[in-house]
A = this chain, B = another copy of it.
Amino acid sequence: MQTEEEILKIKKVKNTAVRTVVLRHLLSQEKAQSLKDIENALAYTDRSSIFRTLKTFEENKVIHSIEDGSGMTKYAVCAKGCNCDPKDLHYHFYCTNCDKTFCLFDVPIPKIQLPENFKLQQANMVVKGLCDNCNK
């Protein structure tokens, strides 16, 4: 696992106090985090600073965002080597019972055969159901 400093250096994002704690928090969580999740976890950091940090991270492919239908955008750290292009696509799983959203890096995504002349750029693939913990 890389440290926050290493990741920011690789992605050419200047390191600051806020950026470090936001990235550290994201790295420490197994489930994708909303702005509010982060705000609650980092009690003394302003929401708009976190918000702008997340935008910066997303632009520079430090993290990616997930629209899981809960009404709050979630964020997760990109896998090592991820460039956020179609080859890095993966499913996200949203548990309808415990509200956790996470990246399914290990489930292969089949090649999507788009109609003639369509161009694939990105995708937001959210699979919903019960996670192993809730399906008992």
Main secondary structure of the interface of A (DSSP, over half): loop
Chain B residues with Cβ below 8 Å from A129 are: 114, 118-122
Interface core residue of A68, A108, A110 (most chain B CB under 10 Å): A110
Cβ < 8 Å to B, chain A residues 19-51: none
Cβ < 8 Å to B, chain A residues 103-120: 104, 106-108, 110, 112-120
Chain B residues with Cβ below 8 Å from A123 are: 125-128
> How far apart are A34's CB and chain B's nearest CB, in angstroms?
14
> How far apart are A106's CB and chain B's nearest CB, in angstroms?
7
> How far apart are A108's CB and chain B's nearest CB, in angstroms?
8
Tier of interface size on chain A: 20 to 34
Is A124's beta carbon under 8 Å from chain B? Answer: yes
Q: How many copies does the complex hold?
A: 2
A132–B117 touching, CB < 8 Å: yes
Cβ < 8 Å to B, chain A residues 78-136: 91, 93, 96, 104, 106-108, 110, 112-132, 135
B96–A118 touching, CB < 8 Å: no
Which of B112, B127, B131 meets A112, CB within 8 Å?
B127
The 4 closest A-B pairs by CB, nearest first: A117-B132, A121-B129, A119-B130, A110-B110
